[in-house]
Amino acid sequence: MDDIPRLLELGRQLHQESPRWSRLSFNRDRAQAMLARLIGSTSSVVFVAERAGVVVGGIAGVVEQHWSSDDLVAHEVSLFIEPDARGGYLATKLIVALTEWGRLRGAVWLHAGTSTGLDPERTAGLYEALGFTRCSIGLEVMYGR
């Protein structure tokens, strides 16, 4: 819970940087409440990565029953890494941690993806290198603001 203020900074930064998410308003209170729920629940998790004692990234996930099955499935909620900390092994370590957490929670699969619009092919390539396979296509229609 002590990391929430820093996680909010990183979340706001990712929100502004994302060509998709930046089209939406950023509500700090809503994001803070979501992080507190993710950290406080036994069905969700937030892992963080630190450099010199400062949080520079994290990954959040949930595990729940599939909407049409009794089977548990894990979902990545968000992967976020400070721009200066990208390109190393932090993302790999975070993804592996979430993958193992989902397995230990009894999930039959982990669904992850890239919705920010920030270098999606590079992000997908990292997941594929870690054993993930492409399984879905996302689409949207904008109504305007």
Mean pLDDT of 7-35: 94
Asked if residue 136 is part of any domain, the answer here is no
Domain span at residue 94 reads 4-129
Asked if residue 142 is part of any domain, the answer here is no
Structural domains counted in the chain: 1
22 C-beta neighbours (distance < 10 Å), count = 14
Cβ-contact 80, 90 below 8 angstroms: no
Residue 95: burial class (beta carbons within 10 Å; 0-12, 13-18, 19+): buried
pLDDT beyond 80 at 131? yes
Asked if residue 137 is part of any domain, the answer here is no
Confidence of residue 110 (pLDDT cuts 50, 70, 90): very high
**HSE, side-chain direction, 13 A CA sphere, residue 99:** 13
36-94: per-residue pLDDT in tens?
999 999 999 999 999 999 999 999 999 999 999 999 999 999 999 999 998 889 999 99
| Dihedral pair phi/psi, residue 45, rounded to 5° | -155, 150
* Chain centre distance of CA 79: 3
**CATH assignment of the domain containing 108:** 3.40.630.30
Confidence of residue 136 (pLDDT cuts 50, 70, 90): confident
Mean pLDDT in the chain?
A: 94
Asked if residue 144 is part of any domain, the answer here is no
Asked if residue 139 is part of any domain, the answer here is no
